[in-house]
Amino acid sequence: MATRTMSPVLLIGGSGHVGARAARALRRLHPDLPIAIGGRDGRKASAVAAEVGGPTTATTVDVGRDDLGLDRGASFSAVVALVKDVGTNAMKRAQAAGVPYVAFSDFLGEIGPVIAHYVARPTRAPILMLGHTLGGTATLAALHLAQELRSVDTIAIACVIDPNDHGGPAALADFERLQQTGQAALFLDDGKWTWLRGDAATRRVVDAEGVAHVVQALPLLDVVSLAAATDARSIRVDMGARDRTAGGAGLVTDLIVEVSGRRHDGASARLRYDIIDADSHSRLSAYGAVIATERLLGLAGGPPVGPGLYHPESVLDPASVIRRLEELGARARRSQTAGA
């Protein structure tokens, strides 16, 4: 497809921690693709647009407004909301235009409005729910491992971040809302859905360097995606910060994905990915958003995705996602131990 003739991909929140990284990655992968950086502060958006270069523009957008503050005639090839779409206004705009929409900031207990808007207009546009760990990359890595197994018993995902890696104000606001609304984390525990919070939701995980971390479960969408995509009886997803006193090699994000089950020959196996990126968690998350967006638009991995309600695993091929992450600079290390 001739990307230069497409309408711009609107990155709402494109000037934020995730958004600016997403814009840079999208530009690297698609030098001619028009991109519009959207945010309330036009100067901030313009600065990111200038840095990203190529056919990148800046536009003032506010998801709090019914019309997003955009001209009625402005046209976009996709609407990627890298900030909480507080009134589902960005989604409504994408449905009205019949273009793909990515919801990136909804915890598990918050997906009702997206589902209802999809149900009301199911044939209008492709709607991707991407409130998954690191923009869906963890779920795709888990499914890549699961492809080696005849049956899956457990899936455990952990994201270990730097103690100073809080994301931007929008991410902090999302976590404050999580606390204020008392949303617990959802696990699949030996075949039963279980909501847990506080200390009951913590576990210990050991990173690729052999260092142990305490991580805490979060209500991210990976658990439901993976429960629907595999026959695993136990699934959880946790996040935690590296110990402040540990020192180390600067800003690094570790994604640890462990899958256990039985191989096709009946032998038990524990498979693991360590995906490591030398930046805040915003960058791997941005990569996930970009890999999904290029797929929705038909710029990678097949033709444009038609109207429907999707999770990342419905539109992406696990092996291709791992390859794309490596191309973008993340390190993916695969290991295994025999015996479950």
Ligand X SMILES: NC(=O)c1ccc[n+]([C@@H]2O[C@H](COP(=O)([O-])OP(=O)(O)OC[C@H]3O[C@@H](n4cnc5c(N)ncnc54)[C@H](OP(=O)(O)O)[C@@H]3O)[C@@H](O)[C@H]2O)c1
Interaction between residue 126 and ligand X (CB under 6 A): no
- List 49, 82, 226, 297, residue binding ligand X (CB under 6 A): 82
CB of 320 vs ligand X, minimal distance in Å: 19
Interaction between residue 170 and ligand X (CB under 6 A): yes
Question: What is the chain's Cα-based Rg?
Answer: 19
| 230 vs 282 by CB, closer to ligand X | 282
Q: Give dist(CA 191, CA 339) in Å, integer.
A: 21
- List 31, 64, 298, 329, residue binding ligand X (CB under 6 A): 64
Binding piece for ligand X, criterion CB under 6 A, among 61-69, 186-194, 235-243, 263-271: 61-69
CB of 137 vs ligand X, minimal distance in Å: 8
Residue 337 token pair: 């131990």
- List 83, 99, 186, 321, residue binding ligand X (CB under 6 A): 83
Interaction between residue 169 and ligand X (CB under 6 A): yes
Interaction between residue 39 and ligand X (CB under 6 A): yes
Site for ligand X in 134-153 (CB under 6 A): 134-135
Site string for ligand X, 290-309 (x = CB under 6 A): --------------------
CB of 138 vs ligand X, minimal distance in Å: 9
Interaction between residue 177 and ligand X (CB under 6 A): no
| 114 vs 149 by CB, closer to ligand X | 114
Binding piece for ligand X, criterion CB under 6 A, among 56-64, 224-232, 297-305, 319-327: 56-64
Interaction between residue 219 and ligand X (CB under 6 A): no
- List 76, 101, 104, 273, residue binding ligand X (CB under 6 A): 104
CB of 72 vs ligand X, minimal distance in Å: 18
**Binding interface with ligand X (CB under 6 A):** 12-19, 39-41, 44, 61-64, 82-84, 104-105, 130-132, 134-135, 167-171, 174, 282, 285, 288
